[in-house]
Amino acid sequence: MQTRRDFLQKLTSSAIAVSLLPHWAQACVLPAKRYEGPVLRVAIMGLGSYGTRVAEAMQHCTRAKLVGVISGTPAKITAWQRKYNIPAKNCYNYENYDEIRNNPDIDAVYVITPNALHHDAVIRVAKAGKHCICEKPMTVDAAQGQEMVDACKKAGVKLLVGYRMHFEPHTLEIIRMRNAGEFGKVLFFQGLSGFIIGDPMQWRLNPVLSGGGSMMDIGIYSVNGARYMIGEDPIEVTAEETKNDPVKFKPGIDETIQFQLGFPGGAVASCLSTYSLNNLDRFFLNGTGGFAELLPATGYGPIEGHTNKGKLDQPTTIHQAVQMDAFAGILLQGEQPPIPCDGEEAVKDLKIIDAIYQSARTGQKIALSL
226: domain CATH number is: 3.30.360.10
**What would you report as the CA-atom Rg of the chain, rounded to the nearest whole angstrom?**
20
Domain end, chosen from 164, 194, 211, is at: 164
Res. 256: pLDDT tops 80: yes
Domain-embedded: residue 325: no
Active-site residue among 92, 163, 221, 228? 221
Q: What is the per-residue pLDDT for 301?
A: 87
d(CA 102, CA 110): 18
157 and 208 fall within a common domain: no
Domain end, chosen from 123, 141, 164, is at: 164
Instruction: Give the domain extent around 281.
Output: 172-315+343-367
Q: What is the per-residue pLDDT for 32?
A: 56
| pLDDT, averaged across the chain | 92
Domain-embedded: residue 327: no
Instruction: Write out pLDDT tens, residues 190-223.
Output: 999 999 999 999 999 999 999 999 999 999 999 9
SS3 261: strand
Instruction: Give the count of domains, the chain.
Output: 2
Q: With left for phi above 0 and alpha for psi between -120 and 50, is residue 268 left, alpha or beta?
A: beta
Nearest by Cα to 368 from 270, 259, 262:
262
- Which DSSP helix (H) or strand (E) runs through 104? none
For 295-299, which contacts have Cβ atoms below 8 Å and span 24 or more sequence positions?
297/165, 297/171, 297/191, 297/221, 297/225, 298/165, 298/193, 298/221, 298/225
142 and 253 fall within a common domain: no
218 and 70 fall within a common domain: no
Q: Look at strands 64-70 and 91-92 and give their pairing.
A: parallel
Q: Is 136 a catalytic residue?
A: yes
201 and 243 fall within a common domain: yes
Domain end, chosen from 164, 188, 212, is at: 164
Exposed, middle or buried by CB within 10 Å (0-12, 13-18, 19+), for 315? middle
Give pTM, 2 decimals. Answer: 0.91
> Per DSSP, what are the bridge partners of residue 291?
286
Active-site residue among 136, 158, 348, 351? 136
Q: Is 250 a catalytic residue?
A: no
Percent of the chain at pLDDT > 90 equals 90
209 and 352 fall within a common domain: yes
d(CA 146, CA 347): 6
Domain-embedded: residue 322: no
Domain-embedded: residue 328: no
Q: What is the per-residue pLDDT for 33?
A: 67
Judge contact between 295 and 203, C-beta under 8 A: no
d(CA 77, CA 22): 38
180 and 297 fall within a common domain: yes
13 and 154 fall within a common domain: yes
Any idea what the CATH number is for the domain that residue 159 is in? 3.40.50.720
Domain-embedded: residue 330: no
Instruction: Write out pLDDT tens, residues 276-308.
Output: 999 999 999 999 999 999 999 999 989 999 999
